[in-house]
């Protein structure tokens, strides 16, 4: 009997268990141990970045990055509305204002032309989101940032390992944000990181992460009193989770290839369904398919979602527009119509099950049910 097909499954193996167990059995340094620094060094090596600071979530990494870039009250940050809500909330964390720009349809990332329209005298930064594992038009956004003297922060939470013209995303802007939440390419359950080539930014991030405390790595191994040189928080990733991250990172290329194989099988299985638009990979980009998102007529998308659920297939809308959530409507006065591409794309997108161990027979079953639905309509 066929079981339900979830939206995602976490890929793990015995080495993940052994890595965590070694830290637990050590009986010390569960919080600030050598695994944290090793994980950061491995992330730098994989991505090609000079510096990396890990955090307890991708949202914390976003918050810390804005603090480290000294973005604050009176500043404006251009963000997409077609993303997870943390991207837009992060400027509010530091007293800045998120300014929404529309997306373009090739990558579902920020539209550089609309970004240009949204730049004003108080604009300090652009947060570029790489949706679903596909690089946005980050090269164009980098040129805009350079021309206007703005910071470019990459939100690569969904795109670990993705490439834009030979460079790993997250390394193209002034800083890049990573997430290791449970449904991401590699996972520590919860976790995040900021990567950058700026040593000054790196030093600020380390202070922000751990109470503004200098020489934090040796805090539990020294009899000396600590010195606190700035305002900071407790945003650390534990050694246990860092050990899991190390183990996951060692197999990341295989995990990405497994996802790409399954995306190719989906594309083939859905190719004969005219109502379905499958994701595309522009020339010069490497898509890692953290999500496999199709587009289908907006007046039928929600019916399709429910039809799939009736047959044990989980699917989800990623994303509804942030600017039309209750909080942003009530506090910023959005009514709809401000971001036309975002608003109609959000009515068409549907993310299907995607994970490295998704079986071919399940992909074919999902495609069959999608075909049945549209034949019935």
Q: How many CA atoms lie within 13 A of 164 on its CB side?
A: 21
* Residue 281 neighbours by CB distance under 10 Å: 16
State the Cα angle at 352 between 349 and 354, rounded to 5°. 130
Catalytic residue among 70, 165, 184, 316, which?
Answer: 184
* Residue 51 neighbours by CB distance under 10 Å: 21
Are the beta carbons of 53 and 206 closer than 8 angstroms? Answer: yes
The verdict on whether 184 is a catalytic residue reads yes
User: So which residues are the catalytic ones?
Assistant: 184
């Amino acid at each position: 009997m066929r079981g339900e097909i979830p939206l995602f499954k976490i890929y793990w193996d015995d080495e993940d268990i052994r890595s965590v167990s070694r830290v637990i059995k050590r009986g010390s340094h569960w919080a600030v141990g050598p695994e944290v620094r090793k994980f950061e060094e491995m992330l730098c090596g994989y991505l090609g970045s000079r510096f990396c600071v890990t955090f307890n979530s991708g949202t914390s990494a976003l918050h810390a990055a804005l603090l480290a870039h000294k973005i604050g009250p009176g500043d404006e940050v251009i963000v997409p509305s077609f993303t997870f809500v943390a991207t837009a909330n992060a400027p509010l964390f530091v007293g800045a204002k998120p300014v929404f720009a529309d997306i373009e349809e090739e990558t579902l990332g920020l539209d550089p032309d609309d970004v240009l329209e949204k730049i004003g005298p108080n604009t300090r930064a652009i947060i570029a989101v790489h949706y679903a594992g596909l690089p946005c038009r980050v090269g164009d956004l980098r040129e805009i940032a350079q021309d206007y003297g703005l910071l470019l922060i990459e939100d690569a939470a969904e795109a670990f390992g993705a490439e834009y013209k030979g460079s790993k995303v997250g390394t193209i802007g002034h800083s890049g944000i990573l997430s290791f939440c449970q449904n991401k390419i590699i996972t520590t359950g919860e976790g995040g990181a900021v990567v950058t080539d700026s040593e000054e930014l790196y030093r600020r991030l380390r202070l922000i992460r751990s109470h503004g405390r200098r020489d934090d790595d040796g805090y539990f191994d020294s009899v000396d009193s600590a010195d606190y040189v700035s305002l900071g928080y407790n945003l650390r990733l534990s050694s246990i989770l860092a050990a899991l991250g190390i183990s996951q990172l060692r197999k990341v290329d295989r995990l990405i290839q497994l996802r790409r194989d399954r995306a190719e099988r989906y594309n083939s299985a859905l190719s004969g369904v005219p109502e379905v638009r499958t994701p595309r990979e522009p020339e010069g980009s490497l898509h890692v398919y953290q999500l496999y998102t199709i587009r289908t007529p907006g007046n039928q998308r929600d019916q399709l979602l429910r039809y799939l659920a009736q047959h044990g297939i989980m699917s989800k809308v990623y994303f509804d527009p942030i600017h039309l959530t209750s909080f942003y409507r009530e506090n910023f006065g959005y009514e709809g119509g401000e971001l036309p591409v975002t608003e109609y794309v959000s009515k068409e997108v549907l993310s299907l099950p995607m994970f490295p161990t998704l079986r071919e027979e399940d992909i074919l079953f999902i495609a069959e049910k999608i075909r049945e639905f549209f034949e019935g309509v």
